[in-house]
């Protein structure tokens, strides 16, 4: 390596460099590391290794295949989220081209595609990727050259308009998405504003700390929760109303009044093939679904679905709703209902253990079930509890799912099984014993409320 700061997974990075040199030989311009690994906030349980490979000329299919084979092998030894690699030509780095063409890309989201049809992958995995503008900016400011030509010799400065467009492409829908992904969007909005106002290129952690010094005190609890979750893997309680106000406040400060995303241009050799830009599958719910399929012995099926139906963080409400319908149809034709309930149950998002702990404290001090119900309902948590003498009932007056609530169309019961998983975990913790949860009605099935029966197992 040409620079020697303390780096995570250094033996793996050395092996990656040696493989890149072996495959590309004199075609290799350099190998560069960016992201959390160089910004002091790498978490082996959450972070990936972000690498850019720069080449002097287009790669042959044989070179792509050899490089991919070595990366797939190394990925098995990588941290939890694996390796993310983009191969670009030197000619698009200086002068900088935006949206930036790439020759090849790899991440764990595309592993199944490559394994099942490597020739198709090699042929089609090229295009343009807006994220490269952000990656190159981080490289120039904080990145590490692992081999080859120095960073500033290879990468020109990214124009401010292009960098801003790449950042906004990632956060433009934050107001509707933050309830489902509060940690990521809270910190990402903070670092985007830090760049907008002070030209700072910060990590998520640094962005959150910057925001604590700059933003109104109203938003400090949200920022502290996000920082705790990010740095300590804590499970804090997020106030969805506060998160929504924060996102709207930040977007008002960040978004230029005349901003409209720069369109992505495909680099596909045959225009009739359409846009072959890198399919993104980094939406948190999509990733949770993939993890759940793996945990329930359906990894291959989950990866096939991810390849056929990728979903990005920046997906709008209609796109997410269509993805939800596709997921339901996929599960209903692929799995028995019992397994479907288990898979969807493990996809659930929601408040953390500290919220559970507040309710459990009420349960332990309550004089009986009715007293517990009354005290819990005083917390105004967005739901109400009922008790009929034998069972509890959890009642939501509206659909709170950020994924589908904005589209006034019904969905199959399959989608709502995630709420059953959340309910079982929540009340299992509160009652300190296993519970059963049964979906009785759902707003997304045209019922007036979402109603779930909770019984002790």
pLDDT, position 275: 39
> Residues 67, 122: contact at Cβ < 8 Å?
no
In order of 332, 355, 419, 433, the CA distances from 381 in angstroms are 32, 9, 15, 22
Report percent pLDDT > 90 for the chain. 55
Beta strand 144-148 pairing with 28-34: antiparallel
User: Does the pLDDT value for residue 230 go beyond 50?
Assistant: yes
User: Does the pLDDT value for residue 335 go beyond 80?
Assistant: yes
Q: Model confidence over 106-156: pLDDT tens digits?
A: 988 788 889 888 998 898 898 888 889 999 999 999 999 999 999 999 999
pLDDT, average across residues 338-359 = 77
pLDDT, average across residues 365-369 = 94
pLDDT, average across residues 344-363 = 75
Of residues 381 and 143, which shows the higher confidence score? Answer: 143
Of residues 157 and 184, which shows the higher confidence score? Answer: 157
Mean pLDDT (the chain) is 87
pLDDT, average across residues 82-86 = 94
Q: Verify cis geometry, omega within 30 degrees of 0, for the bond prior to 95.
A: yes
User: Does the pLDDT value for residue 274 go beyond 60?
Assistant: no
User: Does the pLDDT value for residue 60 go beyond 90?
Assistant: yes
Angle at the Cα of 28 (from 22 to 30), degrees rounded to 5?
110
pLDDT, position 271: 29
User: Does the pLDDT value for residue 326 go beyond 90?
Assistant: yes
CA 200: distance to chain centroid? 23
pLDDT, position 268: 34
As given in the structure block, the two tokens for residue 34 are 């960016």
pLDDT, average across residues 201-217 = 95
Report the DSSP beta bridge partners of residue 145.
Answer: 32
Closest CA to 132 of 196, 184, 86, 189: 86
Helix (H), strand (E) at residue 357: helix 353-365
pLDDT, position 153: 97
Given pLDDT bands bounded at 50, 70 and 90, which one contains residue 3? very low
């Amino acid at each position: 390596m040409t620079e020697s700061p303390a780096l995570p997974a250094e033996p793996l990075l050395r092996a990656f460099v040696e493989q890149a040199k072996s495959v590309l030989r004199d075609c290799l311009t350099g190998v560069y590391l960016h992201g959390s690994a160089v910004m002091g906030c790498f978490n082996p349980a959450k972070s990936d290794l972000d690498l850019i490979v720069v080449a002097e000329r287009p790669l042959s299919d044989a070179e792509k295949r050899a490089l991919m084979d070595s990366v797939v092998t190394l990925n098995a030894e990588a941290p939890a989220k694996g390796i993310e690699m983009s191969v670009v030509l030197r000619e698009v780095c200086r002068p900088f081209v935006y949206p930036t063409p790439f020759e090849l890309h790899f991440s764990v989201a595309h592993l199944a595609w490559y394994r099942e049809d490597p020739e198709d992958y090699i042929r089609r995995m090229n295009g343009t990727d807006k994220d490269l503008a952000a990656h190159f900016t981080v490289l120039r400011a904080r990145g590490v050259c692992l081999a080859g030509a120095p960073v500033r010799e290879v990468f020109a400065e990214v124009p401010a308009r292009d960098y801003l467009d790449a950042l906004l492409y990632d956060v433009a829908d934050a107001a509707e998405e933050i309830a489902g992904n509060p940690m990521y969007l809270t910190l990402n909005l903070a670092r985007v504003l830090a760049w907008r106002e002070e030209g700072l290129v910060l990590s998520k952690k640094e962005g959150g700390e910057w925001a604590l010094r700059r933003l109104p005190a109203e938003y400090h609890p949200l920022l502290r929760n996000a920082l705790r979750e990010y740095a300590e893997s804590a499970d804090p309680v997020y106030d969805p109303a506060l998160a929504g106000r924060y996102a709207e406040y930040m977007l008002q400060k960040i978004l230029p009044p005349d901003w409209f995303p720069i369109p992505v241009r495909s680099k596909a050799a045959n225009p009739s093939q359409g846009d072959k830009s890198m399919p993104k599958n980094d939406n948190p719910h999509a990733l949770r679904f993939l993890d759940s399929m793996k945990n329930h012995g359906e990894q291959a099926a989950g990866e096939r679905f991810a390849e056929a139906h990728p979903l990005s963080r920046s997906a709008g409400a209609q796109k997410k709703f269509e993805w939800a319908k596709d997921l339901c149809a996929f599960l209903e034709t692929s799995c028995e209902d019992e397994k479907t309930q288990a898979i969807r149950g493990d996809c659930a998002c929601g408040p953390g253990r500290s919220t559970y702990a507040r309710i459990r404290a009420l349960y332990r001090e309550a004089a009986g079930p009715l007293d517990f119900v009354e005290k819990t309902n005083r917390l105004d948590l967005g739901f109400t509890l009922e008790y009929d003498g034998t069972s509890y009932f959890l009642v939501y007056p509206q659909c709170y799912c950020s994924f589908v609530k904005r589209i006034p169309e019904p969905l199959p019961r399959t989608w709502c099984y995630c709420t059953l998983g959340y309910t079982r975990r929540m009340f299992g913790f509160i009652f300190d014993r296993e519970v059963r949860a049964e979906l009785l009605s759902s707003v997304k099935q045209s019922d007036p409320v979402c109603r779930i029966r909770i019984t002790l197992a």
